[in-house]
Structure 1
Amino acid sequence: MLIDLIVRDAEIHTMDSERPTASAMGVWRGRIIGFDSELDGIDARETISLPGKVIVPGFIDAHCHTTWWGLGLAAVDLGEVRSLDELYALIRAEAERLDDDTAWIHATGYNHKHTGGELPSIDRLDEAAQGHPVYIRHCSGHRSIVNRAALELAGVLDASFPDPEGGEIVRDAAGEPTGVVDETAQEVIQGLLLPYSAETIADALDRATTRYAAVGITSFTEAGVGGGWIGHSPMELQAYRLAARSGRLHARAQLMPVLDALHEVSANADDFAGEGSALGLDLGLESGVGDEVVSLGHVKVFTDGSLIGATAAVTEDFCGHPHGRGYLLDTPEQYRERVLGAYRAGWNIAMHAIGDRAVDVAMDIIAEAQERYGRREVPNRIEHAGVTRPEQVTRLAELGIAVTPQASFTGPLGTQFMDRMGPERTPYLYRAKSFVKAGVLVAGSSDLPVADNDVLRAIRSLVDRLTDEDTVFGSANERVSPHEAVKMYTVNAAVACGVDADRGSLQTGKLADFVVLSASPFDTATLYDATVEATYLGGVSTYLSSAQQ
């Protein structure tokens, strides 16, 4: 028998408890056909010998924003800005570069942490932009910063313009806009830019997923498509399929439609749990539709904002911030009606809830959905679960809800989060070990581009929980073992995304998605030296480091 690929002489960690390790693995037609002695007498078109190297299942990022990041890779990068003067200089240089006087200046990656907590001045932005409208996406995604030219195009300069529900066009004491646009109010600016074309999105996916392969990511969940302030086109599914057909998608994609993209649908009286109507997409589309390259996942529901912007809904005041306890983006009653309608139509639920007040609302709604319509094999989720009280951890486990906290936040954002919460509530931040001990399924994710998606760096953060300032984030009691951390980005993420039949572990019959590492991530003595040397998707390399070329 002649198969496609045999990998030999490696230290293969399968993440399968029945066969945890192997030294050889065979691949045929994109799937694993066996290990070690099962390959005796079998030849392959390609054989790779990897002595001293470690193989693990392909990493899964269960919550990220790929199109947003890919578009940002072609924008002005403010991620390394360390002063407002530097920011204005970059905006001015972009204005001078643009030929079209009406063209927008797009910038991304800005974090006010690096400019002493101070935000750009709208007057200085106007001066630097030289008449161009400016659109800066804050790294949190829950805030944008614009200039007067952008606000004028949107028709919101006048103080009488009402804030959208769940958002704010921030104004000073005189009623003049500061240029800061929070939460759902961002839609008034994005409405001038959307929708992006399928070709533009496919190009963004090409840029983004090429970089995904370099950090070992073989599958990801796009956390919000099709509408709201997070989507880029009502045709986003088509854009992903275009990217896949044209060779511009270098990882497997699962898309979460936002709740705003769903609409009232009706069917036979026996359908939709006998209620005859629900919230969904036409033709009965539901979670799980698609193939192994592009599929539909949970429906994404925003309930609150962010910790950086102090707009997350919490039960006690933020430290030193005028937003007090943040806010919900809609009323619990409105969420309940719409989420139950989506669940009834076959959509699994993923509720963005960062603050503990939002987590309470999300748990209540998911609990009712499961009680009325039953639990499903694929767990409902709470995205982020950034602040959780001890009793909430217990209830999450009882309800079988999966969570996606971001270990990637630890280094760059941990200190900001702790300053927001204060010392008494700091231990509640982005838990890990508490979830594991309680039996809560924890899926690894990055929330890219809010933080980077370097999975090995995130695994290290789960193990040591050290911020960039070298302080412990939250509590040292939330540290997990290297094996538990790797499991979050493989087995757990696959289960949380409902793709564990094909992914998350290396087993016969599963997709041959794997990562070649220079050293073991399971030992703290070698974890900090491990690098990605190669990534394989269905047995085909999507990334080779110089060491493997």
Structure 2
Amino acid sequence: MHIDVRVQAREILTMDPARPKASRVGILNGRIVGFDGDLDGISAREVLDFGDACITPGLIDAHCHTAWWGLGLKSIDAGECPTLASLYDAIEAGAAALDHEPDAWIHVTGFNQALYDGAYPSLARLDQVTGAHPLYMRHTSGHAAVVNTETLQRIGAFRNDFEVPTGGVLRLDENNAPTGVLEEAAQGLVQALLMPYSQDALVDAIEAATSRYAAEGITSFSEAGVGGGWIGHSPIEVAAYQTAAERGVLHARAQLLPAIDALRPLQAHATDFHGRGEGRGLELGVRFGFGSDDVSFGHVKVFLDGSLLGATAAVTEDFCGHEHNRGYLLDDPVHYQERVLAIYRAGWPLALHAIGDAAIDLALDLIEEAQRLYGLLRAPCRIEHFGIARPDQVARAGHLRIAVTPQAGFIGPLGDQIVERVGEERADWLYRGRSIIDAGVILAGSSDLPVSDNNLRRGMQSAVDRLTDTGRLLGADEGITPEEALRTHTEWAAAATGQLHDKGTLQTGKLADMTVLASSPLVSPDIAAIAVVATILGGKISFDGREILSGGFAAHSETTPSRKAGAR
């Protein structure tokens, strides 16, 4: 009897309590068929021997923005500009490079006013360096953008009948003139000028992004908002992921979370949708879980508030340095209730973006009412970010049996800035870990890329030590163990995404998705520093770093001449 592949290493961490460790795993048709002694007497067409490496279940990023990041890889990176002067210079150079395309947009990503002592670019100076080109500069949080006068004119900001969309803000100066800063849903006015992105552009972005995911050991991800709102890129965005999979350029499994704006009212038989006969979803009744192993639908993404960095998250106490500013909800709670209940009874679990504690209150209310009226679905409802959570909210989340996706990766680069926003008295409530686990809430690991990078090992280390880049300990009682940190990006991420039956642990019958690390994350003094040796997706190598690392790893075939495993 032959199997396709046998993978072996000094240590395979299965995350399965029935068989926590192994040294060999067998793969047939992309799935696991056995371990160690199960494989005795069975030959494999290919053997991947990783020597002293440590293999874990494939890492899962439970909340990221793949197309957005992929498209931004060709943009000007504001994060590389340490001063406003250098930012202006970079934008001016970008404009000069587009002189042969007089109507072309200048795209900038990664802007963070914290780099400039809280200052935003001058609209007048931006107009000087951009000339006639429209500018779209996205804030690193994704919840704001900076534009120039040309862009303001194109969105109609100077017309007498101009209206800011619900849930958005156009910042004005002391003379009631636009500053060029757009918050939240107001960004949709710019997106409307750029959308729809072409399928080819999106496929290229997805390929570029997911090839980098593979290099970080990521085998699955949840794309947090497609097809609608300011977070979407095309009304047929899902087709881009399908096309990428068909062309063999999707290098990690994609779970797509439709934006609430992409869903429509549905009419069905009077007995459907819990006897209401109407719900809200995608055409033909397609719902959560529909798709393939490569591309499938996840939860519905719903924005309730903004960000802590931009002081637009809905909080119950004022932001520091922002007198009488408690952020804001992006819509009326009654309107949320109507749409969310219609979505849930149509079979869609909820992924509610709630960063401030006022928004978390609303998220918990909505989930509780949905579950009370219509019961539990096959996947738990989620609160995305759960950024500043009071102790009573943590306990309530456990009672409701939900999942949350706080970003431990924020703690290092953004932790000090966020503490300045909320104040010392609320610092221990930020992006919690230990208390979430102890309350019985599913803690799912996520990067929120491109807000933070997608080195998930760095995020795991931050979940353990909780140190900001200046060495501050953020939430001394919220640190978790290395094993728990690994589970946030394997077992628990799979549970939160409703996919534990297929991934998250290495067990017979599950997808053969694995991350090969140079050493064990359970005992390493710095998880972030562990090198990714290889990434295996369905038994095939999607990233191979063995030549880079050199030595100690091998691949051979038992039944055919030796060959090097290629990229997927």
TM-score normalised by length of structure 2: 0.95
| Structure 1 position 174, deviation (Å) | 0.8
| Structure 1 position 376, deviation (Å) | 1.8
Counterpart secondary structure, 2:501? coil
Aligned mates of 1:482, 1:496 — CA distance in 2: 19
| Structure 1 position 528, deviation (Å) | 5.1
Alignment of 1:145-156 (within 5 A): 145-156=146-157
Map Cα deviations across residues 407-447 of structure 1 (whole Å, 9 max, x no partner).
Answer: 11111110111011111111111100000111110000011
Cα RMSD for the two superposed structures: 1.2
Aligned to 1:289: 290
Counterpart secondary structure, 2:194? coil
Q: What letter is aligned with 2:194?
A: L
Aligned to 1:317: 318
| Structure 1 position 377, deviation (Å) | 2.6
Counterpart secondary structure, 2:171? strand
Aligned to 2:82: 82
Aligned mates of 2:527, 2:155 — CA distance in 1: 49
Map Cα deviations across residues 458-512 of structure 1 (whole Å, 9 max, x no partner).
Answer: 0100011011111112x11000000000000000000110111110001111111
| Structure 1 position 102, deviation (Å) | 1.0
Counterpart secondary structure, 2:93? helix
| Structure 1 position 162, deviation (Å) | 2.7
Map Cα deviations across residues 101-129 of structure 1 (whole Å, 9 max, x no partner).
Answer: 11100111111111221111111111111
Aligned to 1:350: 351
Alignment of 1:233-382 (within 5 A): 233-322=234-323, 324-382=325-383
Aligned to 2:197: 196
* Change in CA separation of 1:181 and 1:268 when aligned onto 2, cut-off 3 Å: same
Aligned to 1:399: 400
Q: What letter is aligned with 1:116?
A: D
* Change in CA separation of 1:323 and 1:105 when aligned onto 2, cut-off 3 Å: farther
Aligned to 2:438: 437
8 Å contact kept, 2:461–2:526: no
8 Å contact kept, 1:54–1:519: yes
Aligned to 1:59: 59
8 Å contact kept, 1:258–1:299: yes
| Structure 1 position 163, deviation (Å) | 2.3
| Structure 1 position 539, deviation (Å) | 0.8
8 Å contact kept, 1:5–1:46: yes
8 Å contact kept, 2:311–2:327: yes
* Change in CA separation of 1:168 and 1:322 when aligned onto 2, cut-off 3 Å: farther
Between 1:517-526 and 1:350-359, the stretch displaced more is 517-526
| Structure 1 position 180, deviation (Å) | 0.4
Long gaps (5+) in structure 2: 554-563
Alignment of 1:443-462 (within 5 A): 443-462=444-463
Aligned mates of 1:274, 1:48 — CA distance in 2: 54
Aligned to 2:22: 22
Aligned to 1:482: 482
Aligned mates of 1:86, 1:352 — CA distance in 2: 34
Q: What letter is aligned with 1:50?
A: F
Aligned to 2:41: 41
Aligned mates of 2:256, 2:50 — CA distance in 1: 34
Aligned mates of 2:534, 2:9 — CA distance in 1: 15
8 Å contact kept, 1:81–1:110: no
Aligned mates of 2:208, 2:79 — CA distance in 1: 17
8 Å contact kept, 1:148–1:157: no
Q: What is the number of residues matched between the two proteins? A: 548
Say whether residues 1:516 and 2:516 are aligned partners.
yes
| Structure 1 position 51, deviation (Å) | 2.0
Map Cα deviations across residues 157-193 of structure 1 (whole Å, 9 max, x no partner).
Answer: 3476332211111110111111100000111111110
Aligned mates of 2:124, 2:324 — CA distance in 1: 24
Q: What letter is aligned with 1:33?
A: V
8 Å contact kept, 2:347–2:377: no
8 Å contact kept, 1:520–1:526: no
Aligned mates of 2:9, 2:120 — CA distance in 1: 54
Counterpart secondary structure, 2:193? coil
Identity level (%): 54
8 Å contact kept, 1:135–1:146: yes
Aligned to 2:557: none
| Structure 1 position 322, deviation (Å) | 4.8
Alignment of 1:113-128 (within 5 A): 113-128=114-129
8 Å contact kept, 1:159–1:176: no
8 Å contact kept, 1:519–1:529: no
8 Å contact kept, 1:10–1:49: no
Q: What letter is aligned with 1:406?
A: Q
Aligned to 2:70: 70
| Structure 1 position 361, deviation (Å) | 0.4
Between 1:526-535 and 1:134-143, the stretch displaced more is 526-535
| Structure 1 position 323, deviation (Å) | 6.2
| Structure 1 position 79, deviation (Å) | 1.9
Aligned mates of 1:40, 1:233 — CA distance in 2: 51
| Structure 1 position 526, deviation (Å) | 5.8
Counterpart secondary structure, 1:23? strand
8 Å contact kept, 2:223–2:257: yes
Aligned mates of 2:260, 2:154 — CA distance in 1: 27
Aligned mates of 1:159, 1:75 — CA distance in 2: 33
8 Å contact kept, 2:195–2:234: yes
Aligned to 1:532: 532
Aligned mates of 2:7, 2:169 — CA distance in 1: 55
* Change in CA separation of 1:275 and 1:528 when aligned onto 2, cut-off 3 Å: closer
Aligned mates of 1:32, 1:400 — CA distance in 2: 30
8 Å contact kept, 1:310–1:323: no
| Structure 1 position 281, deviation (Å) | 1.1
